[in-house]
Amino acid sequence: MGIKERQERDREAVRRSILDAARELFVTEGFQNVSIRKIAERIEYSPAAIYGYFPSKDDIFFALAEEGFRLLGDPAALRRDPALQTAPPLEQVRAVFWRLYEFSRDQPQYFALMFVERSVPRISREYERFAFAREMKQHIVGVLQACIDAGELPRTLNPTVAMRALTVGVLGVAVMRLAERLAPEENADLLAADVLNVTLAGLQSGVTLQSPGFECPLYPPVVDAQAS
């Protein structure tokens, strides 16, 4: 390995340490209570060294959020899943939103930062940073439109509003699970499946959605789980 390659490897290792420490601190102490100095102390570096990698604490958060969206995955990849290649569009919709719930369960720290902690910077204000997330949303709207075109959902349905209703329903269960607000005997996975099934059944029934169509942000308004 050459000197340049070793330097790049070492730099990436430090960057990874910064992000890991920041993610843990943001979740345990809250975004507002974490400083560059605290992150530096966690990894035994100087604050000046941290600034050599990230200009601000906000930039650290945005890097973590981008990682989170990529961990959530590309919904278009679901179409390459052999189990879904011949599935009707409605089953593809179900798979996309179930993956969102699984993300909340499998990556709780990323989920908390992206969807729960209200003090973090709003991703919707930095939209240009998240082309991947925009493509994700556009794909979901496209699959819902395919359901409408195939007659699986009513032609009067606004796919953007339907996406919003499905997202809020699934994330609602995820937040309750994260905040430990479910009863001991409740199974969060089964509840999430029920919410998804009921919402899809309601959309299929032609229920009138009162929310107007609009260009929604990347995710619903954050909910402070500690205050719930």
Decide if pLDDT at 20 tops 80: yes
pLDDT of residue 123: 72
DSSP letters, 34-98, are: --HHHHHHHHT--HHHHHTT-SSHHHHHHHHHHHHHHHH--GGGGGGSTTTTTS-HHHHHHHHHH
pLDDT of residue 33: 94
**Mean pLDDT in the chain?**
87
Distance CA 99, CA 127 (A): 23
Span 65-227: which CATH code?
1.10.357.10
State the burial class of residue 104 (Cβ atoms within 10 Å of its Cβ: 0-12, 13-18, 19+).
Answer: buried
The CATH number fitting domain 3-55, selected from 3.10.180.10, 1.10.3720.10, 1.10.340.30, 1.10.10.60:
1.10.10.60
pLDDT tens across 101-119, in order? 999 999 999 999 888 888 8
Decide if pLDDT at 219 tops 70: no
Does 65-227 match 3-55 at the fold level? no
pLDDT of residue 79: 58
Count CB neighbours of 13 within 10 A: 10
pTM equals: 0.82
Q: What is the mean pLDDT of residues 48-54?
A: 95
pLDDT of residue 29: 93
pLDDT tens across 77-103, in order? 655 677 677 788 899 899 989 999 999
Decide if pLDDT at 178 tops 80: yes
Where are the chain's structural domains?
A: 3-55, 65-227
Q: What is the mean pLDDT of residues 203-214?
A: 88
Structure-token pair, residue 142: 């496209």
pLDDT of residue 155: 96
pLDDT tens across 108-158, in order? 999 998 888 888 887 766 655 677 777 788 888 999 999 999 999 999 999
